[in-house]
Structure 1
Amino acid sequence: MTPLGGIALKLASVVLFVIMSALIKAAPVPTGEAVFFRSFFALPVIIAWLIWRGDLATGLRANRLSLHVLRGIVGVSAMGFNFAALGMLPLPEVTALGYAAPLMTVVFAALLLGEKVRLFRLSAVVTGLIGVGIVMWPLLTVSDPTPTVLWGVAFVMASAVLRSLVQIHIRRMVATEQTSAIVFYFTMTSTVLSLVTLPFGWVLPPWEHTAMLIAAGMLGGIAQICLTSAYRGAEAALLAPFDYASILFAIVIGYAVFAEVPTPLMLLGSAVVVASGVSIILRERYLGLRRNRARPGMTPQG
């Protein structure tokens, strides 16, 4: 696969994830029930993909099952908070606030993995979090913010923190676990864990909402496959900036489907967050290229 093909798959995954979120938002059901649909109906897609690749045996092999269970608990909590926020806030705001996750990953990588965070990255993270604050500002400073809005902001930020912790956990998992196994067991774990919420108010949605929720699950599975496959054609540093295209699709879908008009501060804050995130990615790519160029001149000990 060419780098252009990898970029196309990454953009496809971004679009599909935004559409998935819109479908979840358009079909209001209890959060645990939404997580179940998203997870259970992604399973057939993922299993079919593993069979097609000849990786089914690998996908079912877990060297350290406890790592997958922990990843599932944290990941499904992040998904639940995000789905709950979708019912409380406009789609573009949820998308923009979610950009706090990669910024927090930098912080947690320093605290938990001992990675060095130099001044450039630290200043970019601080700038990005200021952008997140700009997005939140109009939501929290209206004359009388409703509890729904306040809880929505809290939920999406909790989701961002948990997603960043998941990324740190996955960095540790890849030392012993295959990517296909990580994908499969997360989907399986989140399906099982979502069933725990069954006694707490699940409903029988009308047929059109049921169709939307099933479609959300299947699109989520396809998006995950596109995302995983994209890295076969292009480096992570090349693909990472395209994550931020999601705000464009979220604004378009939010306006067209939910009549959500983005505020100037939301657009400003999103631009600040995107700029800080892209600057980190480009800086890391530049440093990586410098390290690669330096390696041929090293001594065997260096």
Structure 2
Amino acid sequence: MAPQPGPARGILLMMAAMTVFTLMSAFVKAAERVPAGETMFFRSALAVPVVFAWLWATGGLKGGVRTTSYRGHAFRGIAGATAMGLGFAGLKFLPLPEVTALRFITPVIIVVLAALMLGERFRLVRLGAVVMGLVGVTIITLPRFTAGFGTAEALGAVLTLGSAAMAALAQIFVKSMSGRESTAAIVFYFSMTAAVLSLLTLPFGWVWPRGLDWIWLIGCGLLGGVGQILLTASYRHADAGVLAPFTYVTMLWAVVIGYVWFGEVPTWTMLGGAALIISAGIVIVWRERQLGRETTAERKVVAKGYQ
């Protein structure tokens, strides 16, 4: 039997996925004259054929999108689509690195929602990580709000934080479906739901794309599909706990792309807040791995007791 690939391949795939997703966000930001809802339509609709082509090539198309939880997919799709739309809108008012940093608060919010909705214990380490993440968010957003709650930057901060909260809620719904629904089904129904919901924004003023708009819109859809494939493939080669820290490569690319493409110079305030938020996420990942090992050890002890 051929040896199984080690986690290094999964790590490389995860870093590639994060790079592609950051580039996708840059495409969304570049299409500044296109409304967020319209951008969301292209992102969702054009990702579907890419994912289907991948499923066909890997032999996962037959029965891959079969589901018995339409309600679960609906809730996940609505939450995820709202997160996407708010995130795209936030990119129009804030620099790319700042939006990226604020979106990293999602794992922290997941801890809070998991305690409220799934009954998971709110342990001391998790509580400390939540406080650390909230301090980081405060450091980043305080300059935006002190300038006035009616400013475009303040609106961008609110939209981005709303996006992070809805993304956390979407992950809670995914977690509730884990083990019962395939990754292909989750990706497919989310993309279809987001594409349909984006059409509700038509009355708010879609525009006909022109010139480079077509490149940005088509590109963000194709990149979104490729990024989803890379992300899914990464989990085949390494555990989520191993891969999670490497999602923060997004911050590096956001700073580089923001500076080179959009002339956005990151402030020390933003970098300091981002460091706290990322640290909070790493603490959560570390603690989840510790708890996972403890649970596994307990199960082994119980199993030996029945031998």
Fold shared, TM-score > 0.5 on shorter chain? yes
Q: Measure the CA separation in 1 of the matches of 2:281 and 2:45.
A: 32
**Given the alignment of the two structures, is residue 250 of structure 1 paired with residue 254 of structure 2, yes or no?**
yes
Query: 2:10·2:234 contact (CA, 8 Å) conserved in 1?
Result: yes
Question: Structure 2: which amino acid aligns with 1:13?
Answer: A
Pick which of 65-74 and 1-10 moved more.
65-74
Q: Measure the CA separation in 2 of the matches of 1:58 and 1:179.
A: 12
Alignment correspondent of 1:195: 199
The one-character-per-residue Cα deviations of 1:235-256 (angstroms, maximum 9, x if unpaired) are 0000011111211110111000
Q: Measure the CA separation in 2 of the matches of 1:66 and 1:118.
A: 31
**Given the alignment of the two structures, is residue 121 of structure 1 paired with residue 126 of structure 2, yes or no?**
yes
Alignment correspondent of 1:79: 84
Match of 1:218 among 205, 217, 222: 222
Question: Structure 2 stretches of 5 or more lacking a match?
Answer: none
**Given the alignment of the two structures, is residue 283 of structure 1 paired with residue 287 of structure 2, yes or no?**
yes
Query: What's the CA shift for 1:100?
Result: 1.4
State the superposition RMSD in angstroms: 1.6
The one-character-per-residue Cα deviations of 1:22-66 (angstroms, maximum 9, x if unpaired) are 000001201110001101111110010111121213233121212
Alignment correspondent of 2:93: 88
Question: Structure 2: which amino acid aligns with 1:127?
Answer: M
Q: Measure the CA separation in 2 of the matches of 1:176 and 1:158.
A: 28
Question: Structure 1 stretches of 5 or more lacking a match?
Answer: none
Q: Measure the CA separation in 2 of the matches of 1:72 and 1:270.
A: 28
The one-character-per-residue Cα deviations of 1:238-286 (angstroms, maximum 9, x if unpaired) are 0011111211110111000111111111011111111111122112223
Q: Percent identity?
A: 48
Q: Secondary structure at the match of 1:199?
A: helix
Query: What's the CA shift for 1:4?
Result: 0.4
Q: Measure the CA separation in 2 of the matches of 1:295 and 1:82.
A: 41
Question: Structure 2: which amino acid aligns with 1:217?
Answer: G
Alignment correspondent of 1:45: 50
Alignment correspondent of 1:106: 111
Match of 1:139 among 128, 136, 144: 144
Question: Structure 1: which amino acid aligns with 2:224?
Answer: G
Runs of 4+ deviating beyond 4 Å = none
Q: Measure the CA separation in 2 of the matches of 1:117 and 1:301.
A: 31
> What is the TM-score normalised by the length of structure 2?
0.94
Q: Measure the CA separation in 1 of the matches of 2:72 and 2:155.
A: 30
Alignment size in residue pairs? 301
Question: Structure 1: which amino acid aligns with 2:178?
Answer: V
Alignment correspondent of 1:17: 21
The one-character-per-residue Cα deviations of 1:80-127 (angstroms, maximum 9, x if unpaired) are 000000001000110011111110000000010001121011111111
Query: 2:149·2:155 contact (CA, 8 Å) conserved in 1?
Result: no
Question: Structure 2: which amino acid aligns with 1:247?
Answer: M
**Given the alignment of the two structures, is residue 204 of structure 1 paired with residue 204 of structure 2, yes or no?**
no
Query: 2:77·2:194 contact (CA, 8 Å) conserved in 1?
Result: yes
Alignment correspondent of 2:62: 57
> What is the TM-score normalised by the length of structure 1?
0.95
Pick which of 219-228 and 187-196 moved more.
187-196
**Given the alignment of the two structures, is residue 153 of structure 1 paired with residue 129 of structure 2, yes or no?**
no
Query: 2:108·2:284 contact (CA, 8 Å) conserved in 1?
Result: no
Q: Secondary structure at the match of 2:63?
A: helix
Match of 2:172 among 160, 168, 171: 168
The one-character-per-residue Cα deviations of 1:196-228 (angstroms, maximum 9, x if unpaired) are 222321111212111111011100111011111
Question: Structure 1: which amino acid aligns with 2:273?
Answer: G
Q: Measure the CA separation in 1 of the matches of 2:125 and 2:72.
A: 33
Q: Measure the CA separation in 2 of the matches of 1:154 and 1:103.
A: 17
Query: What's the CA shift for 1:74?
Result: 1.3
